[in-house]
Structure 1
Amino acid sequence: MGTSVVTKSFVVLSVFLLCGISPSLETEKHSLYYIYTALSKPVDLPGIYQFTAMGLLDDREIDYYNSKEQRKIPKQHWMKEKMQEDYWEKGTQSRKSKEQWFNVNVEILIKRMGHNGSDLHVLQWRHGCEIEKLGDEVKFSKGIDEYSYDGKNFLSFDDESSQWVAPDPAALPTKRKWDNVPILNQYTKGYLEKECVDWLNKFRDYGDEKLKNGSSPDVHVFARRCTSDKTKLKLTCLATGFYPKDVTLLIRKYRTSLPENEVESSGVRPNHDGTYQLKKSVEIKEDEKAEYDCFVAHRTLKEPVITKWDGKWSDCGGSLSIGISIGIVVGIVLGFVAAVVCYYLYKKYKNGEYYNMIKYSGQTVFNIFF
């Protein structure tokens, strides 16, 4: 009996180690990214501006700027409370400078590519860093500094070699120019590995309890007769209200997970309050009496949540509770808007001779054109 227990314990420990999971301490991953998007001309679509910029801490928006209001504003109440007015004023000037920089570079690329200036083109920049935290130890994981043009990779920074990489031949002139400015590459590497990490840690210290400790998922299982085959039901597992967004959700039959290729997934979607939701569904026979449940694991949970289906179902027009319905509707709307915007930008979619450096609220802005 004792040998059996020891064997089981060894197997469990081995699985944890093979999966890269510490039984006592879980490695946390955190990120800070800034995304800048510039269009070659205005677009008559609600909420779409010629230039936008936003900061994302662990995929949660913390600040925002657009070419209409031209103000860098906080998107989290703790950012507004903790950051001084001077931070937002200097940040606004930095974003205005970047807006002008992007406007110039979009024109440069349109000419370099031989594109029609009357068509819509998009230039986007994403830069930031990721860290891993184990207990009190914080380790730099990776930095990203990359540009895309019309939805395709254009130019990126290799942090290890401190060189620019040009996957697009049209980016080679920019790569040669920027690689010949050592101070630019030194700054970029230093920002990704040190300054960005410092800001990430500072913002997390400032953040609210939900950001620091996360938010546990609410789990619901329900079934509806919404299929073309009237003898079948659609069984759905919904996990909502969790943060951060990394989550494991499985639909199980007799405690055995169903293959993912048999399961329909919504993908992780944002809720209106900064948390996330994930919905998975599978078709089952209406008269099936099998035991189904929903298995959800999240870092805020000491152990997985297992919610059994009670065997009840409703017609497709049946209502859910208000809380769940609102969460689903908001998630679908946000997901749909994001999908439409991304698709539109994708379908419709750096030569200067000098550079300078400007200090804004501790952030160096390089004005070196493509």
Structure 2
Amino acid sequence: MKGFVKLLMVCAILPICLAEQSDLQVDRHSLFYVYTALSKAVSAPGVFEFTAMGLLDDRKIDYYNSEKKVKIPEQKWMKERLPADYWEKGTQSRKSKEQWFKVNVNILMERMRQNNSDVHVLMWRHGCVADKMADGSFKFVRGVDAYSYDSDDFLSFDDASMQWVAPVDEAIPTKKKWDGVPILNQYTKGYLEKECVDWLKTFSEYGETDIKDKANDSPPDVHLFAKEYKSPDTLNLNCMATRFYPKDIRVTILKAKKSVKEGNMNDVMPNGDGTYQVKIMIQAQRSEMNDYECVVEHRTLPNKQIVKVWTKDGVLCPDNSDNNGSFMSGAAVGVLVTLILMIPLGICGFFAYRKGLFGYLKVQNGLH
């Protein structure tokens, strides 16, 4: 069961792991889905053998599980703007994927020489990232089509070469089989670069008003902390920005005015109230503490950036002070707990409505 717990922690930050660095002036959006299948039922409330969830800019937009077997909207605007047949066809698609995953979890267990004494998890992440341009169009940045098994990478699609990448020997038979079906790889590339971006644009436009109502532009609160690391002479210097929106931000730690550590969008986490938080850290000698400063750049700031310096003369600042705003705010803790509980429910949920060709090809071309 240890591997299962590890998987929950990894997936709790999955939506953030799917983000990437962008220019602060770029309005970047993402649409991701992930299917999650367990090798057997788990005796725990709210945990299902199969789940799927859609995520638009890290917000849940639809959901399916193996108990109710119905794809349902999770946002009011999804329910209002999309016709009934969207949900009917989406339900049928996810039912077929549920069966596909059930078969292929067993195939992988056999390939890995595993028995059914433990819980094994097969997950499929799929989606795209795109930038919204000044004219309202969306420009493709990157796509993801990747499988993991028991929290380890198993198989992923390389969009540039239109080939599958097998990081482990057990995935090589599947890679060879799927690469042997050119139409499958062509469709995968087409979906990631075109169809997924089209749905991302549509969903973003549908939910734009709702999202803005929930999270208005907000400048970051910036806090610096320092703690001893292994010895009194060595410190962990932490720079934390929180309660900001939109998500795009740049946080840089400087030493003597030169950059020594820069965060990226992979470090950004949701607070749960529509705002975000990020924290980066470096190790430094106490005697050099006065040489360090943190620069936070965000488009809501009056001068587009704010600069803060650590407490002078080696005076430590504990990073567990509620008065200064801890990294894991109450809202964030609540979100993390919820996400961990929801992982088997599908925090990595997958699939906006698609036509039947790709689903058919996937069923015909299993992992065996």
Deviation at 1:317, TM superposition (A): 9.2
Q: Secondary structure, in 3 states, of the residue corresponding to 2:51?
A: strand
In structure 2, the residue matched to 1:166 is: 166
Within 5 Å, which residues of 2 pair with 1:334-349?
334-335=335-336
The verdict on how the C-alpha distance between 1:303 and 1:62 changes in structure 2, with shifts beyond 3 A counting, is farther
Given that 1:39 and 1:51 are in contact with CA atoms closer than 8 Å, whether structure 2 keeps it comes out as: yes
Within 5 Å, which residues of 2 pair with 1:119-134?
119-134=118-133
In structure 2, the residue matched to 1:363 is: 355
Paired residue for 2:219, among 209, 217, 220?
Answer: 217
Q: How far apart, in 2, do the equivalents of 1:161 and 1:43 lie? A: 39
In structure 2, the residue matched to 1:328 is: 329
The verdict on how the C-alpha distance between 1:186 and 1:257 changes in structure 2, with shifts beyond 3 A counting, is closer
Given that 2:218 and 2:244 are in contact with CA atoms closer than 8 Å, whether structure 1 keeps it comes out as: yes
Matched, 1:248 2:250: yes
Given that 1:221 and 1:307 are in contact with CA atoms closer than 8 Å, whether structure 2 keeps it comes out as: no
In structure 2, the residue matched to 1:4 is: none
In structure 1, the residue matched to 2:80 is: 81
Amino acid corresponding to residue 273 of structure 2 in structure 1: D
Amino acid corresponding to residue 249 of structure 2 in structure 1: V
Matched, 1:185 2:157: no
The verdict on how the C-alpha distance between 1:306 and 1:20 changes in structure 2, with shifts beyond 3 A counting, is closer
Within 5 Å, which residues of 2 pair with 1:293-312?
295-301=295-301, 303-306=303-306
Deviation at 1:96, TM superposition (A): 1.7
Q: Secondary structure, in 3 states, of the residue corresponding to 1:35?
A: strand
In structure 2, the residue matched to 1:95 is: 94
In structure 1, the residue matched to 2:141 is: 141
In structure 1, the residue matched to 2:34 is: 35
The verdict on how the C-alpha distance between 1:252 and 1:80 changes in structure 2, with shifts beyond 3 A counting, is farther
Q: Secondary structure, in 3 states, of the residue corresponding to 1:208?
A: helix
Deviations, residues 85-130 of structure 1 (Å, cap 9, x unaligned): 3322322222122111111110111112211122211111111122
Deviations, residues 161-181 of structure 1 (Å, cap 9, x unaligned): 333232222222222322333
Unaligned runs of 5+ in 2: 1-20, 285-289, 344-351
Q: Secondary structure, in 3 states, of the residue corresponding to 2:329?
A: helix
Q: Secondary structure, in 3 states, of the residue corresponding to 1:120?
A: coil
Q: Secondary structure, in 3 states, of the residue corresponding to 1:175?
A: helix
Within 5 Å, which residues of 2 pair with 1:95-114?
95-114=94-113
In structure 2, the residue matched to 1:197 is: 197
The verdict on how the C-alpha distance between 1:148 and 1:304 changes in structure 2, with shifts beyond 3 A counting, is same
Q: How far apart, in 1, do the equivalents of 2:267 and 2:142 lie? A: 25
Deviation at 1:203, TM superposition (A): 0.9
Q: How far apart, in 2, do the equivalents of 1:192 and 1:319 lie? A: 43
Given that 2:277 and 2:327 are in contact with CA atoms closer than 8 Å, whether structure 1 keeps it comes out as: no
Q: Secondary structure, in 3 states, of the residue corresponding to 1:88?
A: helix
Matched, 1:117 2:116: yes
Matched, 1:48 2:47: yes
Amino acid corresponding to residue 99 of structure 1 in structure 2: E
In structure 2, the residue matched to 1:11 is: none
Q: Secondary structure, in 3 states, of the residue corresponding to 1:207?
A: helix
In structure 1, the residue matched to 2:14 is: none
Deviations, residues 271-326 of structure 1 (Å, cap 9, x unaligned): 22333223568999xxxxx89987432245563353879x9x999997549xx689
Q: How far apart, in 2, do the equivalents of 1:39 and 1:318 lie? A: 40
Deviation at 1:332, TM superposition (A): 2.6
Given that 2:62 and 2:73 are in contact with CA atoms closer than 8 Å, whether structure 1 keeps it comes out as: yes
Given that 1:219 and 1:237 are in contact with CA atoms closer than 8 Å, whether structure 2 keeps it comes out as: no
Within 5 Å, which residues of 2 pair with 1:206-285?
206-209=206-209, 211=211, 215-219=217-221, 221=223, 238-249=240-251, 260=261, 267-279=267-279
RMSD: 4.5
Amino acid corresponding to residue 363 of structure 1 in structure 2: K
The verdict on how the C-alpha distance between 1:68 and 1:240 changes in structure 2, with shifts beyond 3 A counting, is farther
Identity of aligned residues (%): 50
Q: Secondary structure, in 3 states, of the residue corresponding to 1:98?
A: helix
Given that 1:250 and 1:257 are in contact with CA atoms closer than 8 Å, whether structure 2 keeps it comes out as: no
TM-score, scaled to structure 1: 0.68
Given that 2:271 and 2:331 are in contact with CA atoms closer than 8 Å, whether structure 1 keeps it comes out as: yes
Given that 2:138 and 2:197 are in contact with CA atoms closer than 8 Å, whether structure 1 keeps it comes out as: no
In structure 2, the residue matched to 1:153 is: 153
Deviations, residues 208-238 of structure 1 (Å, cap 9, x unaligned): 24747973234154889999999xx999865
In structure 2, the residue matched to 1:348 is: none
Given that 1:221 and 1:235 are in contact with CA atoms closer than 8 Å, whether structure 2 keeps it comes out as: no
Given that 2:273 and 2:331 are in contact with CA atoms closer than 8 Å, whether structure 1 keeps it comes out as: no
Amino acid corresponding to residue 241 of structure 1 in structure 2: R
Matched, 1:175 2:175: yes
Greater Rg over alpha carbons, structure: 1
The verdict on how the C-alpha distance between 1:129 and 1:302 changes in structure 2, with shifts beyond 3 A counting, is farther
Q: Secondary structure, in 3 states, of the residue corresponding to 2:80?
A: helix
The verdict on how the C-alpha distance between 1:279 and 1:194 changes in structure 2, with shifts beyond 3 A counting, is closer
